[in-house]
A = this chain, B = another copy of it.
Amino acid sequence: MALIVHKYGGTSMGSTDRIKNVAQRVAKWHDAGHQIIVVPSAMSGETNRLIGLAKQIMDQPDPRELDMIASTGEQVSVGLLSMALLAIGKQAVSYAGWQVAIKTDSAFTKARIQSIDDVKVKRDLDAGKIVIITGFQGVDEHNNISTLGRGGSDTSAVAIAAAMQASECLIFTDVDGVYTTDPRVVTEARRLKTITFEEMLELASLGSKVLQTRSVEFAGNYRVPTRVLSSLTDPLLPIDIEANSGTLISFEEDTNMEQAVISGIAFNRDEAKITVLGVPDRPGVAYHILGPVADANIEVDMIIQNQSVDGKTDFTFTVSRGEYHNAMAVLNSTKGEIGATSIIGDAKVSKLSVVGVGMRSHVGVASQMFRTLSEEGINIMMISTSEIKISVLIDEKYMELAVRALHKAFDLENA
């Protein structure tokens, strides 16, 4: 018998029929002798509906009141799922975040979990009940309702698994795991049976939408074995098959038995590049260029400062494509102050990253990546690296070609 946390996304909870399916699946795991906690999201579309109502009243909704409203979607979900379990003869009880309690800070709409009280939940589990807890939310020290931000139910599930010392957190979603790259771009893309937290963290922050970045951080920090698997299979799929399906995000590097040098290729099409030319190379130049950009709430990703020549340097960075025009406007207005000769940009670029803990022990990953791109005639505009990742910026028109070439070069379809 193990304690297992299940998380179901909004699509899985999208109708009362689908909620009945979720109940079947949960009941199957409970019947197998496990203690089960379920963390469901709001029914698909519900959170957007609620935020839409709020925006009809206030363009910039008050964060505390927005959380009061937005948190109700998950509250409805837990009640419905609890009923669906009761209806098939299971003992079940639902809790809102504040009832557990899940304590957070007071950063409304983007709160962070500080502690989770396990007393009530443990008592219910020991009494044979399936416990259903709202994702996405908690309560601050003054008993104000807080939400964790979009995708926060992933984080809730992992945090609850950590607090309850669950043996595994199963994230049921509408994909059946984490792939070597997007199967829509590379048909040979292969589902990974395991991936390390560090790799998953890089993939999540690089735009792979499978899991919210913060939930991966939580899983890594608290060493919660977390599995991404499909909620679209038959709910009565034999449990020993389901228990080994999807992708396990593991906290032990050696569980990655596949020992590939790299695990996956992530990419982001919607990038834009801006270069500030001929700025005087003196302390504070980066701050003077990027300060006003940050003040305009524009997030900057890759940053490169060239070797200076004759006391002048070039400064290049990327922003998401939707912010390109805003960022150019900000820079043109501060150009004189910065002392730049000119500002140029390119909104048709994409970022491509190879990720893998194998890079630590294998030399030559960068050179193989660069050679492959060179052989395809693809120019690299910017490079940035971390211990387990190499990212390059390229012309967007070569993006798919580059992903396919690298997927083949690193033998990802066969690993």
Contact = CB atoms under 8 A, between A and B. Distances in A.
Contact of A75 (B16, B68, B86): B68
A76 interface: yes
Given A68-B75, A76-B50, A82 B56 contact: no
Interface residues of A, number: 36
B76 A62 contact: no
Interface in A99-128: 99
Contacts of A61: 83
Contacts of A65: 79-80, 82-83, 86, 94
A75 B96 CA distance: 13
A20 interface: yes
A251 interface: no
A354 interface: no
A54 interface: yes
A86 B57 CA distance: 10
Contacts of A50: 76
A68 B87 contact: no
B16 A56 contact: yes
A163 interface: no
B98 A80 contact: no
Copies in the complex: 2
A19 interface: yes
Interface string A41-59: 0000000001001101110
A4 interface: no
A98 B98 CA distance: 10
A178 interface: no
Given A65-B83, A83-B62, A20 B57 contact: yes
A316 interface: no
A69 interface: yes
A66 B244 CA distance: 36
A82 B98 contact: no
A143 interface: yes
A36 interface: no
A72 interface: yes
Interface of A is mostly: helix
Contacts of A62: 82-83, 86
A63 to B, nearest CB: 10
B87 A57 contact: yes
Contact of A80 (B20, B69, B78, B87): B69
Given A68-B94, A83-B65, A57 B16 contact: yes
A57 B83 contact: yes
Q: Name, among A65, A75, A82, the residue most crowded by chain B CB atoms within 10 Å (CB to CB).
A: A65
A266 interface: no
B58 A86 contact: yes
A76 B94 contact: no
B19 A57 contact: yes
Interface in A126-184: 143-145
Given A54-B80, A62-B83, A65-B94, 7 more contacts: A16-B56, A50-B76, A53-B76, A62-B82, A69-B80, A72-B75, A98-B98
A-B complex: 7 closest residue pairs judged by Cβ atoms: A68-B79, A72-B72, A69-B79, A16-B56, A65-B79, A57-B83, A58-B83
Interface of A: 16, 19-20, 50, 53-54, 56-58, 61-62, 64-66, 68-69, 71-72, 75-76, 78-80, 82-84, 86-87, 93-94, 96, 98-99, 143-145
14 contacts: A16-B56, A50-B76, A53-B80, A57-B87, A62-B83, A62-B86, A65-B86, A65-B94, A68-B94, A68-B96, A72-B72, A72-B75, A98-B98, A99-B143
